[in-house]
Structure 1
Amino acid sequence: MAKRFWRKLAATAKIETTYGTDAVPTGAANAIQLNDVSLTPLAGEEKTRDLLTAYYGHQGVLLVGDYVELQGFVELAGSGTAGTAPAYGPLLRACGLAETTVATTSVTYAPASAGQEALTLYLNLDGVNHVMLGARGTFTLALAPKEIPRLVFTFRGLLGPITALALPTAVLTAFKKPVPVSKANTALWTLHGFAAIAESFSFDLGAQVEARHLVGDESIQITGRQATGTMVVEADTLAAKDWISIARAHTTGALAIRHGLTAGNIIEINAPAVQIGRPTYGNTQGITNYSLPLMFTPVTGDDEFAIVAK
């Protein structure tokens, strides 16, 4: 009996030209370095019949609203060339972000409330190929000292064919080596104009991803977005920064983080109007810190944050 090995997998992803129509991603052109993968090959709902009979016993269920759910992370790094999109760019686009390129300079990903794109995703698990069509998703991002920055994606897609197919040859050279978060590598880290001594930053896109199964149409839709996050900073004096007063005043302010030093491998996270929630105290190694809940609010619309690769 043949065995299948979990670490032998390949993921490919390609933006669809027509929603729900297989874009046929290939290992040569569309491979994704996806890690810590979790696949739910047959997600959905179960309906019971609840028939009255003269005897007890399970009557089984009907599986309805079938879709596929995939989760995994990619390392947060640039493409190696300023003005060239990173290899995970299609994943960000399928999370409701618009891609804007300035040649030889930068690629920016910012929220889009209309015209959202979708992916065809293939996940080949050692010879069994699972196809997700019309996939859309959401993501979280994490930065912490001595750690590799990561984007964790969760996608839902319409159930496509599941077939026996040899693992493709995945060309992953477009995925560049990341640099760990540190004082040297992460030169800019400010919140509300204050250059904090920071312990961590987390971001959650908060996209509402819905699988819709109707008569006449089936699709995966992004129906809302509320971006939030948390920043943990050392607790300075009140004269330096009074986070509690800022929170009570409902003040919004800018966030700016720049990670990486070399052109082609610089990532910026910018937000113009971040509101601070209710701060809480903690400590690390006996040093007092604040945990600051963050709410990323728009100014004119679809501008509450941007991820920029330079």
Structure 2
Amino acid sequence: MYTRRAVVLAKIETSYGTDADPTGEANAILTGRPSVKGLSDNLERNFVSPTLSPLAPCKAGHTVEVSFDVEARTGAEPGTPPEISPLLRACGFEETVVAGTSVAYKPVSDDFESATLYVFLDGICHKIRGCRGNMKFVGEVGKYGVYSFSMRGLYAEPVDLPLPSAAYSAVLPDLVESATLKMTPEGGSQYIPVISRIEFDLHNELFRRDDVTREDGVREIMISSRKTSGVIDPEMVPAAAKNYWSEFRNRVPNQVVFGYGAAGATDKITLTVPRAVYDEVNYQDRGPLLSIQLPFICQYNLGDDELIIVYR
């Protein structure tokens, strides 16, 4: 079996854990090499015997975790969801489509959707139902934007299946160049820093909901909380231009807007954090230049809007 011969399919479920039956023609996602891992509780049997040899443990609470990277690219036309739509929705985002214009994703706090993932590895297929998970976005200058997904779902043993035909989007990913970046402190003026990299991490906490009546004792993978964060690395400037240390000390929130892939005057992909508060400040070198590493927490604004992703 070849590591590069793999296909990932994803489709939103009509009800939790019900196989959505994704197909290669309609639900294929172009990914990096997927990693599939079986998870379980290891129940040690600490009982006495005439020897010091350990007894075989029991296993319980089986689930499956799959992770992979995906290029950040838009839908075929403005107002059409990107191919990663089912993954974003299964990570706790609500999708809002404005036909012919845009597709927006905002986090929710209830009625979470779930997805079925089929992961084909050359000759075997993992059919993973009830998937929910996490998303991280990285935008680095001169490279295309990348989403990293880590999804967890109900356990099922793989089956022997040939690779399906997969129809992938023909849209090319845009490079992180000619980007829009704005930082606006609360009560202050907009500032445009010089950066080389920006990250946004959803940081969902996943909870395994157990049930003695279910196979493997698992009823559901739930999203129980989130602590969305990010990192930005601006070049250091005089305090009169942008006083990062004062904003850190006084917990001053900044609105952070990052967009790139401009089509005319409009960015194709925009990520917005209404209230970003620095978690710490660290100097670092960027060649001969002094820069500053700013991890930040995406704070409560109006609720369920700490990170907004818009495709146009």
Name the TM tier (shorter chain): over 0.9
Q: In structure 1, give the amino acid aligned to 2:257.
A: A
Question: 3-state DSSP class of the match of 1:73?
Answer: strand
Aligned to 1:248: 249
Question: 3-state DSSP class of the match of 1:11?
Answer: strand
Aligned to 1:229: 230
Q: Is 1:239 the equivalent of 2:237?
A: no
Q: Is 1:132 the equivalent of 2:128?
A: yes
Within-5 A mapping of 1:259-278: 259-262=260-263, 266-278=268-280
Q: Distance in 2 between matches of 1:176 and 1:279?
A: 38
Question: 3-state DSSP class of the match of 2:64?
Answer: strand
Q: In structure 2, give the amino acid aligned to 1:20.
A: G
Aligned to 2:106: 110
Contact 2:10–2:27 (Cα < 8 Å) also in 1 = yes
Q: Is 1:194 the equivalent of 2:191?
A: yes
Q: Distance in 1 between matches of 2:144 and 2:254?
A: 27
Q: Is 1:171 the equivalent of 2:152?
A: no
Q: Distance in 1 between matches of 2:170 and 2:232?
A: 27
> How many pairs are equivalent?
302
Q: In structure 1, give the amino acid aligned to 2:298.
A: F
Question: 3-state DSSP class of the match of 2:3?
Answer: coil
Segments of 5+ residues of structure 2 without an aligned counterpart are 185-189
Question: 3-state DSSP class of the match of 1:130?
Answer: strand
Contact 2:4–2:33 (Cα < 8 Å) also in 1 = no
Aligned to 2:68: 72
Segments of 5+ residues of structure 1 without an aligned counterpart are none
Q: Distance in 2 between matches of 1:247 and 1:128?
A: 51
1:52-87 deviation per Cα after TM superposition (whole angstroms, max 9, x unaligned) = 111232321111100000010100111131100001
Q: In structure 2, give the amino acid aligned to 1:171.
A: A
More strand by share: 1
Question: 3-state DSSP class of the match of 1:194?
Answer: coil
Q: In structure 2, give the amino acid aligned to 1:49.
A: R
Question: 3-state DSSP class of the match of 1:35?
Answer: coil
Q: In structure 2, give the amino acid aligned to 1:267.
A: I
Aligned equivalent of 1:47, options 28, 40, 43: 43
Within-5 A mapping of 1:269-308: 269-308=271-310
Contact 2:135–2:150 (Cα < 8 Å) also in 1 = yes
Deviation at 1:300, TM superposition (A): 1.6
The two structures have a TM-score, normalised by structure 1, of 0.94
1:116-138 deviation per Cα after TM superposition (whole angstroms, max 9, x unaligned) = 10001110111111111100000
The two structures have a TM-score, normalised by structure 2, of 0.93
Q: In structure 1, give the amino acid aligned to 2:244.
A: W
Within-5 A mapping of 1:21-60: 21-40=18-37, 42-60=38-56
Deviation at 1:265, TM superposition (A): 7.6
Q: Is 1:96 the equivalent of 2:92?
A: yes
Contact 1:156–1:211 (Cα < 8 Å) also in 2 = no
1:95-116 deviation per Cα after TM superposition (whole angstroms, max 9, x unaligned) = 0000001111100001001111
Q: CA RMSD in A?
A: 1.4
1:122-156 deviation per Cα after TM superposition (whole angstroms, max 9, x unaligned) = 10111111111100000111011112210000000
Contact 1:80–1:265 (Cα < 8 Å) also in 2 = no
Shifted more, 206-215 versus 64-73: the winner is: 206-215
